[in-house]
Amino acid sequence: MGMNGYQYINDSYGCMLCDETCTSNTCDEGPRTLPWTQDYDNGENCTGDNVELCEANDTLGDVWDMWEVELRDFFILDRNGRYVTHFNLTSYNPDPDGAGECTDNYQNIKDLLISISNQ
């Protein structure tokens, strides 16, 4: 699932989903289904158990605060939407054709997703 950072709240999501508004060559294959959500910085998530985990109107977004998200983080949730684990795709390149140490990352991520789905 993609989590758009609060700083991009006014940007179009057309190219993330490759809808008809996108003219990027990354969308040459047409529309794609991609779970995507927008993080807001309104403090609605900063109540109850989360009161110490995030702050409204700090320009980071509530979920990015609570989960300490960085750009290109890949979060894995269980079937009930609960956090399982995460890692950063910049330092853990999933390209199966990548050079050297990156070649096993794709398979490792795939194996992790399969093991989590079987729980």
- Could you report the per-residue pLDDT of 57-87, keeping only the tens digit for each? 887 777 778 888 887 888 888 888 788 888 8
Q: Which domain holds residue 3?
A: 1-58
Q: What is the pLDDT of residue 107?
A: 85
> Do 78 and 110 belong together in one domain?
yes
Exposure class string for 5-40: b at 16+ Cβ within 10 A, else e:
bbeeeeeeeeebbbeeebeeeebeeeeeeeeeeebe
Q: What is the pLDDT of residue 102?
A: 65
Question: Structural domain tally of the chain?
Answer: 2
Do 50 and 63 form a contact (C-beta atoms < 8 A)?
A: no
Kindly report the pTM of this predicted structure.
0.59
Give bridge partners of residue 83 from the DSSP assignment: 77
Q: Is residue 64 part of a domain?
A: no
Last residue of a domain, one of 12, 38, 58: 58
Instruction: Give the tens place of pLDDT for each residue, 97-115.
Output: 766 566 678 888 889 889 9
